[in-house]
Structure 1
Amino acid sequence: MGRLDNKVAIITGAASGMGLAGAKIFAKEGASVVLTDVVEDKLNKAAKEIEDADGKATAIKLDVTDPAGWKHVADQTVELYGKIDILINNAGIHVAKGIVDTDMETWNKVMNIDSTSVWLGMKTVIPFMQKNGGGSIINTSSIGALVGGTATGFSAAYSAAKGAVRSLTKFAAQEFGKDYIRVNSVHPGSTFTGMAEEAGLKSKEEMGQAYEGKAALPPYVADAADIGYAYLYLASDESKFVTGEELVVDGGWTTNS
């Protein structure tokens, strides 16, 4: 028996990083997973890898800022699998600019992808969950929503967007608890993903050198799967009485603020 047997999950930003790690874990635990992303070639490859490992996966291209795209994903998911049990709003971007340096175009882009998309996803999927009699929504925030400085990657827009996700999660948890829809946020700290490798970092250990003295647990950087397993707990029935909460996965970073 898997922890997500007979569950249907939509995961955004699932072509790589934390989204892909979550998708693979979910499929191993018995879920049918709809992977979404804007990077179509990587997205299709990711879904095929899951299917080749005997998992159930479907790839659907999605711009998370597009309401019509969200409707298409939700409709296709229900057509293929009959329902939606889980939504992981994982997609996001980061631009390292402070308040004075950030221009309007950058601000709007980060806010739309990192924050507005979370509202759009919930707005689209919640009616389907209400018909099902419940569901679990996990919104990816950041420790940048809890503390400042290095934790935000020195991005004013990212910090603001992730703070909005934190607050919106609690609002949704209150509004839809009566429908047995649980809404929680995950707050990753520094995490070694494909983006880090593309930036030239070869390992967690190398990346972690910059964060020694911030996080408490060596090598001071998480694996993408560490975040994926946090998603798994909140998606599963093991957390059936958990809503509106912040699950921090940061190696102890925020205890040192």
Structure 2
Amino acid sequence: MSVLDLFALKGKTAVITGGGRGLGAQIAQGFAEAGIANIVLCSRNVVACEEVGKRLEDHFDVKTLALTCDVTNAEDVKQVVEKTVEQFGTIDILVNNSGTSWAAPVDQMPKEAWEKVMNINVTGTFLMSQAVGKVMMANKSGKIINIASIAGFGGTPEFMQTIGYNTSKGAVITFTKDLAVKWGRYNIHVNAIAPGFFPTKMSSKLIETGQEQIMASTPLKRLGSEEDLKGAAVFLASSASDYVTGDILTVDGGASAL
């Protein structure tokens, strides 16, 4: 097997939450380019998932399935897993990408907003991993990729009044490491990607507010592009990472190195 063969996803089936836009859509594109057989895109906005799926099928030899899913709803999660297995036979890769944020100073953060962020970003990651993990445990094989953030590494700059988001991503990092320890015996690899600043719908206002500071604290002096997450995701989804688990792969232009 050549080194490039290690990165191929031929014959694999992936589920990507929040796959209808932003980083989820970018990862789906990367998987399709790597030759994956099947991609399930799920989110509360199923129309966006359908649009991404159609675009991928028009350009690549891949089958897609778009499903409605609120990752905080255990029944929705169960349906996604059951429909995926029914359609494609198994699940080889899970990308826990669904996420949300809320901007407010700590003393003004509504309890409801805090709970919403934690439920989607943390509980949603748990529920999807739990449900998909049962399939992977039976198969004695699987790759789980959680989307964390450099905001989860510790305190953030003053312009980032997003303590719920930052805390949730710290939880995702710990969840990733602990699950990797617990499920290594089943040959399930659990890793996370910690992106820096990528222009997405969720981050647009934050980037606008703090762009000068972001550029000053990013050694590569740019934001993440539409290509920059693909390689990391394909690496963690493929055989190239078969001796990697419990890792947090940082893709941030060097920001966290300062």
Paired position in structure 1 for 2:219: 216
1:145 counterpart (143, 148, 152): 152
Paired position in structure 2 for 1:250: 252
Q: Aligned in 2, Cα 1:99/1:196: closer, same or farther, shift over 3 Å?
A: closer
Paired position in structure 2 for 1:28: 33
- Displacement of 1:185 in angstroms is 1.0
- Cα distance in structure 1, aligned partners of 2:150 and 2:9: 27
Paired position in structure 2 for 1:233: 235
- Cα distance in structure 2, aligned partners of 1:232 and 1:152: 32
Between the two proteins, the alignment pairs up a number of residues equal to 251
Q: Aligned in 2, Cα 1:108/1:58: closer, same or farther, shift over 3 Å?
A: same
What one-letter code is carried by the residue in structure 2 that aligns with 1:248?
A: T
1:114-133 equivalences under 5 Å are 114-133=121-140
Judge conservation of contact 2:207–2:214 (CA < 8 Å) in 1: no
Q: Aligned in 2, Cα 1:9/1:151: closer, same or farther, shift over 3 Å?
A: farther
Paired position in structure 2 for 1:37: 43
Paired position in structure 2 for 1:135: 142
Q: Aligned in 2, Cα 1:151/1:193: closer, same or farther, shift over 3 Å?
A: farther
Is residue 186 from structure 1 mapped to residue 189 from structure 2 by the alignment?
A: no
Paired position in structure 1 for 2:53: 47
- Displacement of 1:208 in angstroms is 4.8
Judge conservation of contact 1:151–1:189 (CA < 8 Å) in 2: no
Judge conservation of contact 1:152–1:158 (CA < 8 Å) in 2: no
Q: Aligned in 2, Cα 1:104/1:208: closer, same or farther, shift over 3 Å?
A: closer
Judge conservation of contact 1:189–1:251 (CA < 8 Å) in 2: yes
Paired position in structure 2 for 1:7: 12
Is residue 18 from structure 1 mapped to residue 18 from structure 2 by the alignment?
A: no
Judge conservation of contact 1:38–1:62 (CA < 8 Å) in 2: yes
- Displacement of 1:210 in angstroms is 4.3
- Displacement of 1:74 in angstroms is 0.5
**1:13-57 superposed Cα distances (whole Å, 9 cap, x missing partner):** 110010001011112212211011111221111111111113221
Question: How high is the TM-score relative to the length of structure 2?
Answer: 0.91
- Cα distance in structure 1, aligned partners of 2:246 and 2:127: 18
Q: Which runs of 5+ in 2 are unaligned?
A: none
What one-letter code is carried by the residue in structure 1 that aligns with 2:48?
A: K
Judge conservation of contact 1:182–1:243 (CA < 8 Å) in 2: yes
- Displacement of 1:151 in angstroms is 8.8
Q: CA RMSD in A?
A: 2.1
3-state DSSP of counterpart to 1:139? strand
Query: What is the percentage of aligned positions where both structures have the same residue?
Result: 34
3-state DSSP of counterpart to 1:26? helix
Judge conservation of contact 1:147–1:254 (CA < 8 Å) in 2: no
3-state DSSP of counterpart to 1:222? coil
Judge conservation of contact 2:100–2:202 (CA < 8 Å) in 1: no
Q: Aligned in 2, Cα 1:151/1:141: closer, same or farther, shift over 3 Å?
A: farther
Q: Aligned in 2, Cα 1:201/1:108: closer, same or farther, shift over 3 Å?
A: closer
